Amino acid sequence: MSESEEDIQRLIFEGFGALEIADYERALRAARELHDAGHTAAYEIEARSLWEMEDHDRAIRVLQRGVEAVPDQFVLWDYLGSYLSDERRYEEALQAYYSSRDCPDAVPEAVDFNIAIVYQRQDRHERALALLETISATGSIPNEVIESAKAHSLNESGKHADAMTRAAACLSQIKEDDDIDPEAVSRIMSEHAFALFVMGIHEAAYVEAYEAIGLDKSNERAAWLIREIADERSERAKMWRVVIEGKWAEPFEDSDKDYGFLANYMVVADNSEEALDYIREFEPDEVRFTLKISSAVDLEPKPDAPKGVYEATAAYQFFPLED
């Protein structure tokens, strides 16, 4: 391997590694050097960094340039479809997914699943269900991911008993030692809990919603259920953007340092301390006692809104603690 190839591999490793630890500025520096070297990994690294830094329009433009430069790269079409869908540009997202089918490394089941998710976001649930029924579970799209999507469309179609039955059947098949996707299981649990809630079984729905949050704190359906069932309101309530700081409980692999972390939340509460109380319930037991507020900004009054967590960013920003 030549020195230049070694440099490129180092930059790719550095860029993707920086994404993993949420060091987006470092990832962008690696992407710039990869662009200079003419390597296509630059598009993915740059777009993902910009997206995580909330610069969504630029992230999409980077991917659009990427698929124009290398139209046979499935990963770029896949991220483009996902980002467009998240921005509610659904027809453009569908076109991106359709184009991704022509890539030599396309994963047909993943493409069809992503198209079904766009249908769901367009409230075309019958069409989503019809497509989901054609998708077989694979390593990239496991059964619990497909079943959680089916349960969601059943709930949104008003077929709550069917959603509850399907979700319960899927959950009953998961064994304790199974290698599962925790986010997908969280979604199944929240759909089961939603069906329980609609059918008036609120206490069980509340407990299950918190179990779902334990698997994926960014699960918005579960957070909605918790707020709605608790139904705590206050004339003094405000929407808060809160960044919390804590100490990670487990050591990092290949490191003897202790690490701290930052995490982002949107919370409706009377004050920042009450917001922190709500946030604690969304973090692992072993770190709750270490949590404190890094920053808190009250955005607007919310006197009529149920109090609690509205958004929890799944990713943490880690940093080494001083000795």
The token pair that represents 117 in the structure block: 């998710």
Which of residues 190, 210, 231 is at a domain's end? Answer: 231
Domain of residue 192, CATH code = 1.25.40.10
The token pair that represents 57 in the structure block: 């329009």
Instruction: Please check whether residue 35 lies inside any domain of the structure.
Output: no
Q: Are residues 252 and 224 in the same domain?
A: no
The token pair that represents 98 in the structure block: 């359709």
The span from the CA of 240 to the CA of 231, in Å, is 18
Instruction: Please check whether residue 107 lies inside any domain of the structure.
Output: no
Instruction: Please check whether residue 137 lies inside any domain of the structure.
Output: no
* Full DSSP string of 279-319: HHTTS-HHHHTT-EEEEEEEEEE-TTSPPEEEEE-S--EEE
Which of residues 231, 261, 291 is at a domain's end? Answer: 231
8 Å CB contact between 269 and 280: no
Predicted confidence pLDDT, tens digits, the chain (323 residues)? 444 888 889 999 999 999 988 889 999 999 999 999 999 999 999 999 999 999 999 999 999 999 999 999 999 999 999 999 999 999 999 999 999 999 999 999 999 999 999 999 999 999 999 999 999 988 888 888 999 999 999 999 999 999 999 999 999 988 666 677 899 899 999 999 999 999 999 999 999 999 999 999 999 999 999 999 999 999 999 999 999 999 998 877 767 788 999 999 999 999 999 999 999 999 999 999 999 999 999 999 999 999 999 999 988 888 888 76
Instruction: Please check whether residue 101 lies inside any domain of the structure.
Output: no
At 256 the pLDDT is 76
**Which domain range does residue 161 map to?**
142-231
Instruction: Please check whether residue 282 lies inside any domain of the structure.
Output: yes
Domains: count for the chain: 2
Whether the full predicted model's pTM is greater than 0.85, yes or no, is no
* Full DSSP string of 22-83: T-HHHHHHHHHHHHHHT-THHHHHHHHHHHHTT-HHHHHHHHHHHHHH-TT-HHHHHHHHHH
Q: Are residues 225 and 250 in the same domain?
A: no
∠ CA 10-16-22 to the nearest 5 degrees?
A: 130
The span from the CA of 275 to the CA of 183, in Å, is 24
Q: Are residues 240 and 200 in the same domain?
A: no
Strand pairing class (317-320; 292-301): unpaired
Q: Are residues 241 and 227 in the same domain?
A: no
Instruction: Please check whether residue 92 lies inside any domain of the structure.
Output: no
Q: Are residues 239 and 210 in the same domain?
A: no
Q: To the nearest 10°, the Cα dihedral for 84, 87, 88, 94? A: 10
At 177 the pLDDT is 61
The span from the CA of 15 to the CA of 32, in Å, is 10
Beta strands (DSSP E) in 160-252 are 238-247
Instruction: Please check whether residue 50 lies inside any domain of the structure.
Output: no
The span from the CA of 167 to the CA of 177, in Å, is 19
Q: Are residues 212 and 256 in the same domain?
A: no
8 Å CB contact between 75 and 16: no
Which of residues 231, 255, 281 is at a domain's end? Answer: 231
Instruction: Please check whether residue 211 lies inside any domain of the structure.
Output: yes
At 109 the pLDDT is 93
Residue closest to 135 by CA, chosen among 151, 150, 146: 146
